[in-house]
């Protein structure tokens, strides 16, 4: 058994090659849900969905978001209606008293569907309708995710990090905003001053997640702050990671990040945006996988390879390095 912590695109890209060293039937993926939003009444879970769509062989691999070849008729019509009705563009947060009303799982991240600020494809939307309807029927997010994973014929076990609400709030020089506003609507432009995982202290990892953290853990080349941070913010997770072998793949080559806002977010929370900063952020990690060109000197075992992942062959190469690193510390 082995467990991967997934958020953003780094770990999902790594999972493309998981069968190089691991039996997918023995792999559990714990996905970040701090990035989730309720948009127009539908619960959208970007990090869960990236693993769902990749495992179902329908992911748009140009954007690593949504379904390949999807249409956007509903999204386009929402924009047209907002413009015709002279309604301001999104993101449009629901009023403060509505942020903690309605579905508990959607607290602190509830947006109006007017002028939808995230592009949701038509087939993609069907997933959100199904998930939200299952929740309204009384299922947990874990149960709804299991149903969707079966529909997409996933080889791995996919778990949300919690069935409780946790919202990633980025505090910036322009005010506090949900991560999706910061990243999607604002293109990571505001300067980051801090990051909050609202609700995390009152949330719990599910029993399935606790069991998964008893196995060796792999952290892919994901953003340490907003992709992995919400999982770690749950009570007991860091303690569990201290007690099990953990290997992490750096999302940096020294101080150059492969993609995304990791550097700005790390700088904003007081971490050096570099492989060294990732090691400081992960004191529980037993070994690291670094790029061949990364000369960072760490105080823990290191396995080096070309860590850029552009396709499944790249992913298999990095997974082989992960397995080698686990063999050193398991």
How many whole angstroms from its chain centre is CA 266? 16
Instruction: Tell me the CA distances in angstroms from 59 to 51, 306, 310, one per residue in order.
Output: 9, 24, 14
Query: What is d(CA 118, CA 121) in angstroms, rounded to the nearest whole number?
Result: 10
The domains found in the chain, sorted by start residue, are 2-328 (3.40.50.10680)
How many whole angstroms from its chain centre is CA 287? 22
- Could you count the other beta carbons within 10 Å of the beta carbon of residue 205? 23
Query: What is d(CA 122, CA 142) in angstroms, rounded to the nearest whole number?
Result: 24
> Which residues neighbour 323 within 8 Å (Cβ) at sequence distance 6 or greater?
20, 21, 22
In this prediction, residue 330 carries a pLDDT of 83
Query: What is d(CA 192, CA 175) in angstroms, rounded to the nearest whole number?
Result: 9
Instruction: Tell me the CA distances in angstroms from 203 to 166, 237, 251, 275, one per residue in order.
Output: 7, 11, 28, 30
Q: In 3D, which of 322, 328, 326 has the Cα closest to residue 13?
A: 322
**Six token digits for residue 316:** 């298999």
Query: What is d(CA 8, CA 18) in angstroms, rounded to the nearest whole number?
Result: 17
In this prediction, residue 89 carries a pLDDT of 87
In this prediction, residue 49 carries a pLDDT of 98
Query: What is d(CA 230, CA 217) in angstroms, rounded to the nearest whole number?
Result: 16
Query: What is d(CA 311, CA 39) in angstroms, rounded to the nearest whole number?
Result: 32
Query: What is d(CA 120, CA 92) in angstroms, rounded to the nearest whole number?
Result: 16
Supply φ then ψ for residue 210, to 5 degrees: -60, -45
pLDDT mean by block of 10 residues, the chain; 330 residues: 96 96 98 98 98 97 95 97 94 96 95 97 98 98 98 98 98 98 96 98 98 98 97 98 98 94 97 98 98 97 97 97 96
Question: In this structure, are residues 128 and 43 in contact, taking their beta carbons and an 8 Å threshold?
Answer: yes
> What radius of gyration, in Å, describes the C-alpha atoms of the chain?
19
Q: Is 49 annotated as a binding residue?
A: yes
Maximum CA extent, the chain: 62
In this prediction, residue 293 carries a pLDDT of 98
**Six token digits for residue 268:** 């904003």
Helix (H, G, I), strand (E, B) or coil at 173: coil
Residue with tokens 């509830």: 110
Full-model pTM: 0.97
In this prediction, residue 263 carries a pLDDT of 96
Q: Please state whether beta strands 2-6 and 217-219 pair in parallel, antiparallel, or not at all (unpaired).
A: parallel
Query: What is d(CA 166, CA 36) in angstroms, rounded to the nearest whole number?
Result: 9
């Amino acid at each position: 058994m082995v467990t991967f912590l997934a958020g953003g695109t780094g770990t999902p890209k790594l999972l493309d090659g998981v069968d190089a060293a691991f039996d997918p039937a023995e792999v559990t993926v714990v996905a970040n849900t701090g990035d989730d939003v309720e948009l127009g009444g539908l619960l959208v879970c970007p990090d869960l969905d990236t693993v769902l769509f990749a495992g179902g062989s329908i992911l748009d691999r140009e954007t690593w978001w949504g379904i390949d070849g999807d249409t956007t008729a509903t999204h386009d019509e929402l924009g047209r209606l907002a413009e015709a009705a002279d309604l301001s563009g999104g993101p449009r947060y629901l009023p403060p008293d509505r942020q903690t009303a309605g579905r508990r799982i959607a607290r602190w991240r509830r947006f109006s569907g007017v002028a939808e600020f995230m592009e949701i494809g038509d087939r993609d939307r069907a997933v959100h309708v199904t998930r939200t309807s299952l929740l309204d029927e009384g299922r947990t997010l874990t149960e709804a995710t299991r149903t969707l994973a079966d529909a997409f014929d996933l080889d791995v076990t996919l778990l949300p990090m919690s069935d409780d609400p946790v919202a990633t709030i980025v505090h910036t020089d322009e005010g506090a905003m949900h991560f999706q506003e910061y990243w999607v609507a604002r293109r990571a432009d505001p300067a980051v001053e801090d990051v909050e995982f609202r609700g995390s202290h009152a949330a719990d990892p599910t029993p399935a997640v606790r069991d998964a953290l008893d196995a060796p853990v792999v952290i892919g080349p994901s953003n340490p702050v907003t992709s992995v941070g919400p999982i770690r913010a749950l009570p007991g997770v860091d303690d569990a990671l201290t007690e099990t072998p953990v290997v992490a793949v750096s999302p940096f080559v020294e101080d150059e990040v492969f993609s995304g806002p990791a550097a700005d977010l790390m700088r904003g929370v007081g971490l050096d945006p570099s492989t060294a900063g990732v090691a400081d952020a992960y004191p529980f990690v037993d070994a690291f996988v670094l790029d061949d060109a990364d000369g960072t000197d760490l105080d823990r075992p290191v396995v080096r390879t070309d860590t850029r992942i552009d396709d499944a062959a790249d992913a298999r190469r990095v997974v082989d390095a992960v397995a080698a690193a686990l063999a050193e510390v398991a």
